[in-house]
Structure 1
Amino acid sequence: MDLAFDRQHIWHPYTSTLTPLTCYPVVGAEGVLLEMEDGKRVIDGMSSWWSTIHGYNHPVLNEAAHSQIDKVSHVMFGGITHQPAIDLCKKLLKLAPNNLEHVFLADSGSVAVEVSLKMALQYWHAKGQPRSKFLTLRDGYHGDTFAAMSVTDPENSMHSLYKGFLPEHIFAASPKTGFWDKWNPDDISSFREELSTHHQEIAAVILEPIVQGAGGMRIYHPEFLKQVRELCDEFNVLLILDEIATGFGRTGKLFACEHADIQPDILCVGKALTGGYMTLSATLASKDVADTVCGGEAGCFMHGPTFMGNPLACAVGAASLGLIEQGDWQLQTKQIESLFSELLPKLKQHELVKDVRWLGAIGVVETHTPVDMEEIQAHFVNHGVWIRPFGKLIYMMPPFISESHHIEKLVSAIDSALQRPECFQ
């Protein structure tokens, strides 16, 4: 593999072209294992950024892709439909909160968020009550595209550089009560105050339910989410839930909002939708949202990505949701959660560790000092695992098919790294 060319010309995510981080060449994958060019196999603890929930090279997903590519790999979705899209959307609506009746397909999680924000803006425009603001949470993350960045914490995020260029929205304090802790009623105060003060200009609330992902891997109490829904109803504001990272079983529930027994007006999904095989996302809306948007001046929703409803992605997505319907994920995520609850607290013995937390197939170790990415990445690969930390967070979102010895090896590698000062800044 021409790694010199890669290093000189290919711009990898969150990586400097001046001093690029080492890239490890992968030539294959099977189950939970990534195969490196040198033949070394490492356990994937990241599910390729939280998407490959069924593992790699899955025969059901492979067959779906092979079968569809022989028929039609892509066709425009404007004025045309196809069976894979119908199959996928039927399954989505069957699995999703039952108030959601309409599915808008897109090609990435960030675009699903963009679509949700546009839906909310167009909803209020159609009602003759234009609203231009969104209320969201500190420490949240919703994607790297322009509008998605604008509802991501402008102070404590990778997007702080763009503050002043992005539309300015309203941010409430993020909840501090952990998922397993006793609920603190003060947690909702900031949110209630902001919504009460600004509700007439707020088109929607958007947040990540239960787990704030790339903004800090915080796992918060379901009561906060329940009260958010109640306040949105009280002040007549739409609720958008970004389940791109949490959807399809990651938290131990099919959707994280089920922990609070609530339903959104708009739901964003992506990542695991195709089992990590290819890019696809969806924004689901209630009948009220869809009918109001389409009953307005424009007469339709004004959005249409080129690769919207890609048949190849839809076929694999439908197959992935078919695996979800079989229900194995419920026991799998419960077993992973049980292992995390047993193994992660033991890491608190290390002075570097500030906190550990877990939920479903999510395990997080927060340190007092940031990692040295180059050093810790090499350490993990040498120990036979693939874990990609950021900042002060070493976290795992393994494939659901991971077995006990896989999880134990992932945690063991973290334990070892915590004993190596060179792995931290």
Structure 2
Amino acid sequence: MSLKERDKKHLWHPLTQHKIHPEALPIVKAKGALLFDEDGNEFIDGIASWYTSMYGHCNDYILNKAQSQMHQLDQIVFSGFTHEPAIALSEELIRILPKNQEKVFFSDNGSTANEVGIKMALQYHFNKGEKRNIIIAFEDGFHGDTFGAMSASGLSVYNGPFEDFFIDVKRIPTPNSQNINQVIKQLEEYIGSNEVAAFIYEPLVQGANAMHMYEARYLDQILATCKEHAVITIADEVMTGFGKTGMNFASDFVETKPDIISMSKALTAGFVPMAVTSCTQDIYNAFLDDSVGKAFFHAHTYSANPIACAVALAGIELLSSENIQQNIKNIIASNKGFDEKIKKHSKVQTTRQMGVIYAIELKIDMDRYGKKRYEIFDHFMKNGVYLRPLGNTIYILPPYIISPEQLELIYSSIISLLDDVI
């Protein structure tokens, strides 16, 4: 039996209605910016496999670092033990994170990184003798699939069956020049109850919300208001982190820095699952007490896995290199050039870009996971390009090592979609 046939016997895939779409495409190999299926077809990975493999698939430098670590220390409990890869990674993360960050806590994925951040914020106030149980979040944000992260997410396509079980979340619109004063007023009304523990947000780019973008100056006003009222700010940098916005973190564009930052995805360069939640010294200090009950009792079996830490260290080394930084600049410039060609096309509603992230909103009504979406997806795959539409938005978020020729093939597949398909 083919891999496709074997897959259908036992596997349940994420974000999939199997009655309508019963088959998954088997990928047998990946290298650089390319994916290869079992029939030998190749596809340019235009979204770095959900924004993870930013230095290319099976990067030799990272691969060698992982292999070397496997021979030294594979796994060890991180409660009561420590190890050099975790220590070195904490040092490197603090070096590139916003300067107010001092402590790092390990978990397994983006959802759990945000779950940790939310729990830290809630317990921070609890440990100080305050009962604050309300979280503020943006409308249409996405923070993950565990219950705290899901509660903070505003995309109902993911949340519908579970909303009766959520923690208390109040939502505000993402800010712009027209609504910023009203957003601040609404935020202050929520905070006025003195029950707001935290504000969680995707800084500047909302990934799952079709790469919706907003300006740093408006976010800064929101964060400053939160700071005035001791509301903990949690920056969800799971998608935006590690160079995608043109800076190490989207929070680098904002004057008021977050108290807590969640990271995953590109943290380990697409090699292995791992997440980090960083925080300020003040957050950490609120958990220091003679009472064990004030400690942060949250644990993952694979927390700070040595192999994952070694991979993350290699990724940060590459991110900081002159070569990758130049590649990021080249992709940004290339996307800007493409935007000049495409933004006035009759099928294009709007375009937007931040860093290497480029999005096109089409003049077409369609469901997020409807028939038209799969027609667009199939068009790209037939052209040897892997792009994953978000409703009527097509976006590019390529690996930093993508070649100019591969980028041009992505661009041409988009142009042919606009000219010949939709």
C-alpha displacement of 1:36: 1.8
Which residue of 233, 237, 243 maps to 2:237? 243
1: distance between equivalents of 2:24 and 2:243? 30
For 1:66 and 1:151, locate their aligned partners in 2 and report how far apart those are by CA, in whole Å. Answer: 38
Equivalent residue in structure 2 for 1:301, among 292, 296, 302: 296
1:10 aligned partner, one-letter code: L
Which stretch has the larger CA shift, 84-93 or 367-376? 367-376
Task: Indicate yes or no: 2:248 matched with 1:254.
Answer: yes
How far apart are the structure 1 equivalents of 2:269 and 2:185?
37
Amino acid at match of 1:27: V
Aligned match of 1:180:
none
Q: 1:382 to 1:123 in 2, by over 3 A?
A: same
Residue identity opposite 1:362 in structure 2: I
CA 145–359 in structure 1, closer or farther in 2 if over 3 Å, else same: same
Please name the residue that 2:404 is paired with: 404
Does 2:350 correspond to 1:355?
yes
8 Å CA contact 1:146, 1:166 repeated in 2:
yes
In structure 2, the residue matched to 1:181 is: none
Q: Which runs of 5+ in 1 are unaligned?
A: 178-183
CA distance in 2: counterparts of 1:251 and 1:204, whole angstroms: 24
- Alpha-carbon distance, 1:296 to partner: 8.0
Distance 1:242 1:62, change over 3 A: same
Match of 1:186 in 2: 179
Encode CA deviations 1:3-50: one digit per residue, 9 max, x unaligned.
112124211111112222542221111111112222222111010100
Aligned pair 1:369/2:365, yes or no? yes
Quick check: 2:141–2:155 contact (8 Å CA) kept in 1? no
**Alignment partners' CA distance in 1, 2:97 and 2:271:** 21
Matches within 5 A, 1:4-403: 4-20=5-21, 22-153=23-154, 155=156, 157-175=157-175, 177=176, 184=177, 186-199=179-192, 200-295=194-289, 297=291, 298-367=293-362, 368-370=364-366, 372-403=372-403
Q: Distance in 2 between matches of 1:339 and 1:359?
A: 12
Structure 1 counterpart SS, 2:219: helix
Whole-Å Cα distance in 2 between the matches of residues 362 and 337 of structure 1? 8
Residue 401 of structure 1 deviates from its aligned partner by 1.3
Question: Does the 8 A contact of 2:140 with 2:154 survive in 1?
Answer: yes
Instruction: Quote the Cα distance in structure 1 between the aligned partners of 2:184 and 2:18.
Output: 40
Change (3 A) 1:124 1:192: same
User: Could you tell me whether the CA contact under 8 Å between 2:142 and 2:155 is conserved in 1?
Assistant: no
- Give the counterpart letter for 1:408 in structure 2: E
* 8 A Cα contact 1:137 1:207, kept in partner: yes
Aligned partner letter, 1:369: D
Contact 2:237 2:250 in 1 (8 A): yes
In structure 2, list runs of 5 or more residues that go unmatched.
none
> How far apart are the structure 1 equivalents of 2:396 and 2:67?
31
> What RMSD, in angstroms, separates the aligned Cα atoms of the two structures?
1.8
Change (3 A) 1:198 1:400: same
Instruction: Find the aligned partners of 1:167 and 1:301 in 2 and give their Cα distance.
Output: 19
**Inter-partner Cα distance in structure 2 for 1:378 and 1:7:** 20
What whole-Å deviation, never above 9, does each CA across 1:333-360 have from its counterpart, x for those lacking one? 2221212122134334444422111111
Greater Cα shift, 249-258 or 335-344: 335-344
Amino acid at match of 1:388: R
Q: Deviations over 1:47-89 (max 9, x none)?
A: 0100111111211110111111122221211111111111111
SS in 1 for 2:246: coil
Alignment check: 8 A CA contact 1:248 1:272 kept: yes
Matched residues in 2 for 1:302 and 1:191: separation? 34
Identity of aligned residues (%): 35
Task: Report if the CA contact (8 A) 2:206-2:213 is conserved.
Answer: yes
Residue type at the aligned position of 1:324? L
SS at match of 2:190: helix
Describe the SS at the equivalent of 2:247.
Answer: coil
Q: Which runs of 4+ in 1 moved over 3 A?
A: 348-352
**Conservation of the 8 A alpha-carbon contact between 2:117 and 2:277:** yes
Cα 1:185–1:376 shift into 2, 3 Å: closer
Query: What SS does the corresponding residue of 1:293 show, helix, strand or coil?
Result: coil
Q: Which amino acid aligns with 2:108?
A: D
228-237 or 161-170, which deviates more: 161-170
Distance change (3 Å), C-alpha of 1:117 and 1:236 = same
Distance 1:262 1:104, change over 3 A: same
